[in-house]
A and B are shown apart, each in its own frame.
Chain A
Amino acid sequence: AQTVTQSQPEMSVQEAETVTLSCTYDTSESNYYLFWYKQPPSRQMILVIRQEAYKQQNATENRFSVNFQKAAKSFSLKISDSQLGDTAMYFCAFFMDSNYQLIWGAGTKLIIKP
C-alpha cells in the first residue's frame, strides 16, 4: 500500500529564515504526482506546489521549491524568506494514475515567529 510520511509534527522558525519540511513516500508505481498543500488557520486547503515524478527538474513557485529525490522517495518543501503568513499546517500528498486518489501525510505544523 502507498503511504506518505511527514516526520516533523511541528516546526518553528524566525521570519525571513529558510525552512525545509520533509516528506517521504512509499510506492511501487512508476508514474505519479506529488503535492504540497497549505492549510492556514482559516482551514482553507491551498495547493502550494506540484511535482510530476517523471520530471527531473524540481518544481518552484516563487518562494516555495521542492527537492524531489525519486530514488530515495523523498519530496521536501523549502520555503525561502519565510513570512508570518506562511504559518500553517503543511500536507504532503501523493497521487497515482492507477486509482486517481490523493494519499495524504499527517501534516507538519509550521509556525513563523516575528
Chain B
Amino acid sequence: DGGITQSPKYLFRKEGQNVTLSCEQNLNHDAMYWYRQDPGQGLRLIYYSQIVNDFQKGDIAEGYSVSREKKESFPLTVTSAQKNPTAFYLCASSYYRDSDGYTFGSGTRLTVV
C-alpha cells in the first residue's frame, strides 16, 4: 500500500544535540512538507520541497535543516539552535501543483530531556 512513513514515533533529545526525523513516501509525490504542531495549536510550516534537490523555508525554519536528495525522502534535522524543539512533527506530501490536498504521515513526538 502506498503511504507516507515517519520514524521514529517518539524521539528524545538531550540539550545541545542534533536529531534527525525521517519521512519517506512511496506515493510518487513530488512535493513534501514538514510541519510543527504545538499543544492545542494548528500547523506551522517549517520547510517544504517541490522537487528533488530544492527546498524552501517555511514560516519557522530557524533551528531546522532539511535535505531532498531523493524524491521519496525528506528528512528533517532539529539542530541545537532550535531553542524549544519539544513538539509534534508532521510530514506531508502531494503532487506538485496538485489541489487534491496533502497526505500525512503519523507524526513524530520529539521531547527534550
Contact = CB atoms under 8 A, between A and B. Distances in A.
Do these two chains really belong together in a complex?
yes
B99 A47 contact: no
A37 B41 CA distance: 14
The number of chain B residues touching the other chain, given as a range, is 20 to 34
Contacts, number: 48
A91 B101 contact: no
Given A43-B107, A44-B104, A45-B92, A104 B42 contact: yes
Interface stretch (A14-22, A61-69, A94-102): A94-102
A106 B42 contact: yes
A52 B43 CA distance: 22
Q: 9 nearest interchain CB pairs? A: A45-B104, A106-B42, A33-B99, A104-B43, A104-B42, A47-B101, A100-B97, A107-B42, A43-B107
Given A91-B42, A100-B97, A101-B45, 13 more contacts: A35-B101, A37-B101, A44-B104, A45-B90, A45-B92, A45-B102, A45-B104, A46-B104, A52-B99, A91-B43, A104-B43, A105-B42, A109-B40
Interface of B: 31, 40-43, 45, 48, 50, 88, 90, 92, 96-102, 104, 106-107
A97 B96 CA distance: 11
Contact of B41 (A33, A47, A95, A107): A107
A50 interface: yes
Contacts of A35: 101
Nearest to A42: B106
B101 A95 contact: yes
Contacts of B48: 101
B41 A50 contact: no
Interface string A71-105: 00000000000000000000101010100111011
A97 B107 contact: no
Interface-centre pick from A97, A102, A107 (highest chain B CB count, 10 A): A102
Contacts of A47: 101-102
